Structure 1
Amino acid sequence: MQISILTELEYDLPGPADVLLQLEAAIIPEQTVTSHHIDLPKVEHFARVPGQSNIGERIWLRLAQPLSVRYEATVEVNRLVTDIATLPQTAPHMLPGETVDYLMASRFCPADEFQAFVEQEFAGTGGGARIAAIRDWIAGTLSYVPGSSNPQTTAADTFHAHQGVCRDYAHLMIALARASAIPARFASVYGLGVEPQDFHAVAEVFLDGCWHIVDATGMSTPEAMAKIGVGRDAADVSFLTSYGQVELKTQRVTVQEVVPA
């Protein structure tokens, strides 16, 4: 599937600031970026650095004037998709070293708080069957309510509130997977079908030797997503992190399927 992406951001800066951007579709085997272009204002400093787990790139900017970003891309998604419920789990002691960090509790995903819950609620399941059960439980338990959470909301907060947005669904999915001894990480993506259109957040779980996307919101599907980056949770893969004051003026994200002529 081929999708087109248009992202436009405008921020006011009262003074000089260092800004870290991560909003470009990653160049990775599961997707081909067939065209891309990013427009940025004049800056004092520009540098590209690798994203977490070497997926995607981040852009460092140093600037003292308003930040205006326009990013356009076309991405061919080549991701192989399988029925996650059929996938076996890898025993913790057999996991590759690069997955181990994604077993641990993190700032927004306090997995250790959910160990008793997952063993009781999902008893008798394991591996992909447990992931499918967790995904379905989240989808049936939470209500998608824009504005119901904030940047400090954790998976534990979402668990008790029974509501959230895609970021919260992903954090809870990750926390419950890690509590089940299954590595899980946060993925920022562009996804077809997301309403309202915006940057989208999903979980990725490590089963049967590779990573698999899980979207508990049900708004998009793995074959219709362009991955931007990954991290332990949202703090690692924010589309904009500022060191200095910035004020959002406008943000627009448009994701569409490219239909062959």
Structure 2
Amino acid sequence: MKLSISSELQYDVPSEADLLLQIEAAIIPEQRVVSAHIELPPVQHFARVTGHDTIGDRIWLRMQGALTVRYNALVEINRLTADIAQLQAVPPHLLPGETIEYILPSRYCASDQFQQIVGDLFGDTQGGARVAAIRDWIEANLTYQAGSSNASTGAMDTYNAREGVCRDFAHLMISMTRASAIPARFCSVYGLGVEPQDFHAVAEVFLDNTWYMVDATGMSTPDTMAKIGVGRDAADVSFLTSYGLANMQNQSVQVTAG
């Protein structure tokens, strides 16, 4: 599957600020970036740094004034897919060291608050079957509602409200999975079939010693998503983090079959 991707960000930066940008499809074995181009205005400073878990690039910008970023890419997806329900969990004491942070609570994923909840809801399942049950429960019980959450909304807020956007679905998926002692991380992607079109967020779960994408919104599938970056939660993989004032003027994303 090839995906044709285009995105554009427009910001007003009234005074000098440092901006951390992450919108490019990652160059990793599970996907091949056939072609890509990013267009930026003149800036005072530009530097590429490696993303979380060495997946994807972040770009440091220092600038003031009007910021317009345009990104276009053609990405071929070659990702391993599997029936999640048939996979086995790795016992916590056998987990690789680099996965440990993903069974711990984080800013938006207070997984320690969900241990009783997942026991009550999914106590008769384990491993991949538990992950599949969590995914199906979220898709069935939450409403995708634009504007229903904000930058401070955490997984427990979403659980109580029973509504949110893709990042909220992902945070709840991650929190419930971590509460089940299965590593889970936040994954920023471009996804085919996402409505309304936007940067998309899903979970990745660690089963059978491999990371697998899980979209609890049900809008996209692992073989139709181009990965941008990963992290503990949305705070680690924002498409733009500003150290200084930056006012969004416009944002657009389009993903089509290439």
TMscore range, shorter length: over 0.9
Q: Which amino acid aligns with 1:11?
A: Y
- Uncovered stretches (5+) of structure 2, i.e. residues with no partner: none
Aligned to 1:56: 56
State the alpha-carbon separation in 1 of the partners of residues 256 and 117 from structure 2.
Answer: 39
- Per the TM alignment, residue 124 of structure 1 is displaced from its structure 2 partner at its CA by 1.6
Aligned to 1:225: 225
Aligned to 1:119: 119
Q: Which amino acid aligns with 2:153?
A: T
State yes or no: 1:181 paired with 2:181.
yes
- Per the TM alignment, residue 257 of structure 1 is displaced from its structure 2 partner at its CA by 0.3
TM-score, structure 1 as length reference: 0.98
Q: Which amino acid aligns with 2:36?
A: H
- Per the TM alignment, residue 65 of structure 1 is displaced from its structure 2 partner at its CA by 1.9
TM-score, structure 2 as length reference: 0.99
State the alpha-carbon separation in 1 of the partners of residues 218 and 143 from structure 2.
Answer: 12
Aligned to 2:136: 136
State the alpha-carbon separation in 1 of the partners of residues 53 and 13 from structure 2.
Answer: 31
Aligned to 1:213: 213
State the alpha-carbon separation in 2 of the partners of residues 28 and 99 from structure 1.
Answer: 18
Aligned to 1:72: 72
- Per the TM alignment, residue 55 of structure 1 is displaced from its structure 2 partner at its CA by 0.3
- Per the TM alignment, residue 80 of structure 1 is displaced from its structure 2 partner at its CA by 1.3
- Uncovered stretches (5+) of structure 1, i.e. residues with no partner: none
- Per the TM alignment, residue 17 of structure 1 is displaced from its structure 2 partner at its CA by 0.7
State the alpha-carbon separation in 2 of the partners of residues 10 and 116 from structure 1.
Answer: 43
State yes or no: 1:6 paired with 2:6.
yes
1:92-147 CA distances to partner (integer Å, 9 max, x unpaired)?
Answer: 00000110000000000000000011111101210000000000110111111100
Query: Over aligned residue pairs, what C-alpha RMSD do you find?
Result: 0.5
What count of residue pairs does the alignment treat as equivalent?
258
State yes or no: 1:203 paired with 2:227.
no
Q: What are the equivalent positions in structure 2 for 1:245-256 lying under 5 Å apart?
A: 245-256=245-256
Q: What are the equivalent positions in structure 2 for 1:8-23 lying under 5 Å apart?
A: 8-23=8-23
Aligned to 1:241: 241
Q: Which amino acid aligns with 1:257?
A: A
1:193-224 CA distances to partner (integer Å, 9 max, x unpaired)?
Answer: 00000000000000001000000000000000
State the alpha-carbon separation in 2 of the partners of residues 29 and 85 from structure 1.
Answer: 24
Q: What are the equivalent positions in structure 2 for 1:16-165 lying under 5 Å apart?
A: 16-165=16-165
SS in 2 for 1:13: strand
Aligned residues with identical type, % of pairs = 65
SS in 1 for 2:15: coil
